[in-house]
C-alpha cells in the first residue's frame, strides 16, 4: 500500500520511544539503587542516581551472594525448573500421543480432566497438596517435579494434543508396518516432529516453574530449601529491618539472566507464548 | 495399529496420570471434602456440614476482598486490553524500530510476580514520599492503583503480542477494498479490524480476566493486603485464612472460600468464552 506518511506516523515513534523508557525504568532504578550503600538507600531518594558518596560498588551483590544464600536458592530453583520441565515435556507428550491415537471413553475422560485442571485456581488445593506431598516425601527439590508434572500436565497435554491432531497418521503407520513397536515409533518418528511444540511448551512451563512462589513455598521443606522467589519474599517477610541493598541486588541477579536469555531467544519465546495463548 | 498401541498404556499414560492423581485429583477431592469439615490437618477432620459456607457469607472480610477483587479485575482487564490493542495497532503500521519496541514491551512479562511486586513497591513508595503522601502500606488507593499499574506493566506486552498476531492475519485485500470504497480510518478500525481480530480479543479477555481475578504473588509482594486487609484480594484472603489466622475453624472457612473461589473462576471462564465467541466473525 502506498499511504503517505501521516502526522501520526511521525509522532508515533517518538511517543513509543518515550513509552519504552518508561517501561524499562523500574528495572534501571532498582539497578542504580542496588549499587548504593545500605545507609544511603531510603524511600525519598530512590529516584536519584548513586553519587560518589553513596556509591557502594558491588558490595550488595557480594553480600547477597556470600551471606544471604542467593547461590543456594538459585541452584535450588535451577534444579526444580530443569527436572520439572524435562518431566513435563517427556511424559506429557507421551500421554498426549496415546490419548489422541487411542480414542475411547477413558482417554476422553482423562483429556477433559486435564482441561478442567487448567481452570482450577491453586488456592483450591494448596493445603491438601502440601500435606499430600509431605506424606509422600515429595518435599525436596529433587522430587518436587512429580507435583509440577501433575499440576502442570493440563496445559502441556492440551497443547500437545492440539498439535498431535495435525500430524498425518500415515507416517506412524508406515513405521509400524516396518516393524517399529509403539515405543520406537514414538521416539523415532513422533518426537522429532514435535520439536517446535516442545520448544513452545518448554518455554511456557519454564516461565511458570522458575517464577512460581506459592507452590514451592508450601511444598518444600522450608528449613532446608528456598528458591529465588522465596528468598526475595523472605527479605521482606522476616522480622526486623529489611536490608534493601542485598534485596535489590538479589532482584537484579534474578532479573538479569532472564533478560539475557530473552534477548537471545526472543523469537522462540514470543512464538511459544503466542502458541500457548492461541491454543489456551 | 491402535490395538498395538493400546497395551502400551503403562509406558505412555501411567506416569502423567499417576502424577496428575497426586498433584491434582486427590488434593482437589480432599479439598472439596474438607470444605465441609473442621480440621487442623487432613487426618484430624470432623464433619460440620455446610456451616463453613454459612460462615464465609457472614465474614465481612470475604465480601470486602470480593469487591476489591471484582473492581480490580474489571478496571485492569479494560485498561490492559485497550492499551495493548492500541500499541498493537501502532506496531503494525510498519514503523521503524517496531522490533525494538515489541521486545521492550514484552519483557516484564517474563519476570515473576514476587520480584515485580517488590520492584514496584520500591518505586511507588519513592513516588509517594516525594508527593508527601502516606506510603503504600498505609494507603489503600495507592495500593489499588499500584496493583493496576503493575498488572498493566506486566500484561500489556503479552496481550500486545497476541493482538499483533491477530492484526497481521487480516488479509490486506480487506483493508484495501474498504479504502477504495471510501472507508475512513475509524471505519476500517471498527468495521474491519476489530471484527476480524475477535478471536484474539476472546483470548486476551479470558487471560486478563482470570489472571487478574486469581492474582496472588503481586498482591502479596506489593501491598501484602495492607493497610489492615483493605487491599487484600480473594486469593490472598484465602491464604491468610489458612496460614495467618489462629484457630482451627479458619482452615475450614478458608477451604470453603477456596471452593467458592474455584466455582467463580470456572463460571467467569465459561460466561466470558461464550459471550465473546458469539461475536466472532467467520473469515
Each residue's pLDDT tens digit, B126-169 = 888 888 888 887 888 888 999 999 999 999 999 999 999 889 88
Enumerate the residues of chain B whose CB falls inside 8 A of the CB of residue A110.
13, 17
Cβ–Cβ < 8 Å for B259, B32:
yes
Cβ–Cβ < 8 Å for A50, A38:
no
Mean pLDDT of B8-24: 89
Distance CA A259, CA A255 (A): 6
| A84, A216: one domain | yes
The CATH code of the domain that includes A143 is: 1.10.3720.10
| A78, A52: one domain | no
Record the cell numbers describing residue B26, joined without a space: 486427590
pLDDT for A89: 94
Answer whether B3 touches A (CB < 8 Å).
no
Most confident of the ranges A44-58, A198-212, A235-249: A198-212
Q: Which of residues 185-224 of B touch A (CB under 8 A)?
A: 203-204, 206-207, 210, 214, 216-217, 220-221, 224
**A87 band by pLDDT with thresholds 50, 70 and 90:** very high
pLDDT for A148: 93
Q: Over 80: is that where the pLDDT of A132 sits?
A: yes
| A231, A146: one domain | yes
Q: Over 90: is that where the pLDDT of A86 sits?
A: yes
Contact state of B4 with A24 under an 8 Å Cβ cutoff: no
Enumerate the residues of chain A whose CB falls inside 8 A of the CB of residue B166.
none
Contact state of A121 with B123 under an 8 Å Cβ cutoff: no
Q: Which residues pair with A55 in a beta bridge?
A: A36
Shortest Cα distance, chain A CAs vs residue B77, angstroms? 16
Each residue's pLDDT tens digit, B249-272 = 788 888 999 999 999 999 988 887
Distance CA A64, CA A37 (A): 13
| A21, A129: one domain | no
pLDDT for B79: 96
Residue A1 forms part of a structural domain: no
Number of domains in chain A: 2
Residue A2 forms part of a structural domain: no
HEC profile for B181-228? Answer: CCCCHHHHHHHHHHHHCHHHHHHHHHHHHHHHHCCCHHHHHHCCCCCC
Q: Alpha helix (H) ranges present in A3-69?
A: 7-34, 59-67
- The 10 Å CB-count burial string (b at 16+, else e) for B200-229 is bbbbbbbbbbbbbbbbbbbbbbbbbbbbeb
| A184, A216: one domain | yes
| A105, A84: one domain | yes
Each residue's pLDDT tens digit, A223-240 = 888 899 998 888 876 655
Rounded to 5 degrees, φ, ψ at B37 are -125, 165
Q: Of A126 and A37, which is predicted with more confidence?
A: A126
How many CB pairs (< 8 A) connect A and B?
276
The whole domain housing A25 covers: 7-57
| A199, A254: one domain | yes
Nearest CB partner across the interface for A132, out of B26, B90, B91: B26
Each residue's pLDDT tens digit, A174-223 = 888 888 888 888 888 888 988 888 988 898 889 889 999 999 999 998 88
Answer whether A112 touches B (CB < 8 Å).
no
| A101, A224: one domain | yes
Q: Which of residues 115-144 of B touch A (CB under 8 A)?
A: 115, 118-120, 122-123, 125-126, 128-130, 135
Mean pLDDT of B93-100: 84
Please, what is the average pLDDT of chain A? 85
Q: With the C-alpha atoms ordered B210, B216, B218, B222, is the resulting torsion angle positive or negative?
A: positive
Q: What is the dihedral of CA A177, A179, A185, A188, to 10 degrees?
A: -120
CA distances from B195 to A84, A193, A277, B81, B282 (A): 40, 34, 19, 15, 9
Query: Per mean pLDDT, which range of A28-32, A56-60, A198-202, B231-235 is the poorest?
Result: A56-60
Decide: helix, strand or coil at residue B10: helix
Q: Over 90: is that where the pLDDT of A91 sits?
A: yes
Which residues, 6 or more positions from A166, have their beta carbon under 8 angstroms from its beta carbon? none
Which of these CATH numbers, 3.40.50.11890, 1.10.3720.10, 3.30.470.20, 3.40.50.12500, describes B56-277? 1.10.3720.10
Q: Over 60: is that where the pLDDT of B100 sits?
A: yes
* pTM > 0.90: yes or no: no
Distance CA A152, CA A208 (A): 9
| A53, A76: one domain | no
| A158, A266: one domain | yes
Each residue's pLDDT tens digit, B30-87 = 999 988 888 877 777 788 888 889 888 888 889 999 999 999 999 999 999 999 999 9
Q: Please give the share of chain A, as a percent, with pLDDT higher than 70.
A: 92
Enumerate the residues of chain B whose CB falls inside 8 A of the CB of residue A24.
104, 107
pLDDT for A280: 45
Decide: helix, strand or coil at residue A36: strand
Q: Over 50: is that where the pLDDT of A22 sits?
A: yes
Q: Over 70: is that where the pLDDT of B281 sits?
A: no
Q: Which residues pair with B37 in a beta bridge?
A: B47
Mean pLDDT of B267-282: 71
Q: Over 90: is that where the pLDDT of B223 sits?
A: no
Nearest-CA neighbor of A19 among B137, B115, B143, B152?
B152
| A104, A177: one domain | yes
- The packing angle between helices A126-135 and A145-164, to 10°, is 120
- The 10 Å CB-count burial string (b at 16+, else e) for A242-270 is ebbbbbbbbbbbbbeebeeebeeeeeebb
| A35, A95: one domain | no
Nearest CB partner across the interface for B19, out of A33, A110, A150: A150
Q: Over 70: is that where the pLDDT of B111 sits?
A: yes
Contact state of A95 with B25 under an 8 Å Cβ cutoff: no
**B283 band by pLDDT with thresholds 50, 70 and 90:** very low
Residue of B nearest to A98 (CA): B12
Distance CA A88, CA A111 (A): 16
**A82 band by pLDDT with thresholds 50, 70 and 90:** very high
Each residue's pLDDT tens digit, B172-192 = 888 888 888 888 888 888 888
Q: Over 60: is that where the pLDDT of B282 sits?
A: no
Answer whether A109 touches B (CB < 8 Å).
no
Residue A217 forms part of a structural domain: yes
Amino acid at each position: 500500500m502506498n499511504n503517505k506518511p501521516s502526522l501520526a506516523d511521525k509522532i508515533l515513534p517518538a511517543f513509543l520511544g518515550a513509552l519504552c523508557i518508561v517501561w524499562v525504568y523500574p528495572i534501571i532504578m532498582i539497578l542504580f539503587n542496588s549499587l548504593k550503600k545500605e545507609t544511603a538507600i531510603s524511600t525519598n531518594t530512590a529516584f536519584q542516581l548513586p553519587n560518589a558518596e553513596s556509591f557502594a560498588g558491588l558490595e550488595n551483590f557480594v553480600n547477597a551472594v556470600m551471606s544471604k544464600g542467593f547461590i543456594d536458592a538459585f541452584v535450588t530453583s535451577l534444579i526444580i525448573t530443569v527436572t520439572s520441565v524435562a518431566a513435563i515435556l517427556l511424559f506429557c507428550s507421551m500421554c498426549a500421543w496415546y490419548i489422541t491415537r487411542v480414542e475411547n471413553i477413558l482417554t476422553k475422560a482423562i483429556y477433559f480432566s486435564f482441561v478442567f485442571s487448567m481452570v482450577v485456581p491453586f488456592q483450591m488445593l494448596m493445603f491438601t497438596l502440601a500435606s499430600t506431598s509431605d506424606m509422600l516425601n515429595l518435599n525436596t527439590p529433587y522430587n518436587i517435579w512429580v507435583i509440577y508434572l501433575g499440576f502442570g500436565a493440563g496445559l502441556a497435554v492440551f497443547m500437545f494434543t492440539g498439535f498431535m491432531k495435525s500430524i498425518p497418521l500415515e507416517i506412524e503407520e508406515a513405521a509400524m508396518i516396518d516393524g517399529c513397536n509403539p515405543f520406537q515409533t514414538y521416539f523415532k518418528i513422533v518426537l522429532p516432529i514435535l520439536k517446535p511444540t516442545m520448544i513452545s511448551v518448554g518455554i511456557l512451563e519454564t516461565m511458570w516453574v522458575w517464577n512460581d512462589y506459592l507452590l514451592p513455598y508450601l511444598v518444600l521443606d522450608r528449613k532446608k530449601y528456598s528458591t529465588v522467589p522465596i528468598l526475595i519474599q523472605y527479605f521482606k517477610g522476616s522480622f526486623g529491618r529489611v536490608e534493601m541493598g542485598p534485596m535489590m541486588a538479589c532482584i537484579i541477579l534474578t532479573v538479569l539472566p532472564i533478560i539475557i536469555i530473552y534477548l537471545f531467544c526472543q523469537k522462540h519465546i514470543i512464538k511459544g507464548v503466542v502458541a500457548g495463548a492461541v491454543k489456551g | 495399529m491402535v490395538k498395538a498401541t493400546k497395551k502400551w498404556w503403562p509406558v505412555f499414560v501411567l506416569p502423567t496420570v499417576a502424577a496428575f492423581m497426586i498433584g491434582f485429583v486427590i488434593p482437589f477431592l480432599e479439598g472439596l471434602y474438607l470444605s465441609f469439615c473442621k480440621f487442623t490437618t487432613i487426618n484430624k477432620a470432623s464433619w460440620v456440614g455446610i456451616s463453613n459456607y454459612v460462615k464465609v457469607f457472614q465474614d465481612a472480610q470475604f465480601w470486602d476482598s470480593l469487591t476489591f477483587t471484582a473492581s480490580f479485575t474489571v478496571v485492569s482487564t479494560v485498561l490492559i486490553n485497550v492499551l495493548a490493542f492500541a500499541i498493537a495497532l501502532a506496531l503494525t503500521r510498519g514503523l521503524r524500530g517496531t522490533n525494538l519496541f515489541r521486545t521492550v514491551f514484552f519483557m516484564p512479562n517474563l519476570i515473576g510476580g514476587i520480584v515485580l511486586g517488590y520492584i514496584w513497591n520500591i518505586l511507588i513508595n519513592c513516588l509517594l514520599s516525594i508527593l508527601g503522601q502516606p506510603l503504600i502500606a498505609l494507603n489503600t488507593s495507592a495500593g489499588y492503583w499500584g496493583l493496576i499499574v503493575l498488572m498493566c506493566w506486566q500484561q500489556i506486552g503479552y496481550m500486545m503480542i497476541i493482538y499483533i498476531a491477530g492484526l497481521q492475519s487480516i488479509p490486506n485485500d480487506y483493508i484495501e477494498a474498504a479504502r477504495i470504497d471510501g472507508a475512513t480510518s475509524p471505519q476500517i478500525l471498527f468495521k474491519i479490524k476489530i471484527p476480524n481480530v475477535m478471536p484474539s480479543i476472546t483470548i486476551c479477555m479470558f487471560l486478563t480476566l482470570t489472571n487478574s481475578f486469581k492474582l496472588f504473588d503481586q498482591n502479596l509482594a506489593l501491598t501484602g493486603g495492607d493497610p489492615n486487609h483493605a487491599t487484600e484480594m480473594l486469593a490472598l484472603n484465602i491464604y491468610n485464612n489458612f496460614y495467618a489466622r489462629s484457630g482451627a475453624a479458619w482452615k475450614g472457612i478458608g477451604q470453603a472460600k477456596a471452593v467458592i473461589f474455584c466455582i467463580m473462576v470456572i463460571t467467569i471462564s465459561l460466561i466470558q468464552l461464550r459471550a465473546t465467541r458469539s461475536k466472532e466473525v467467520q473469515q
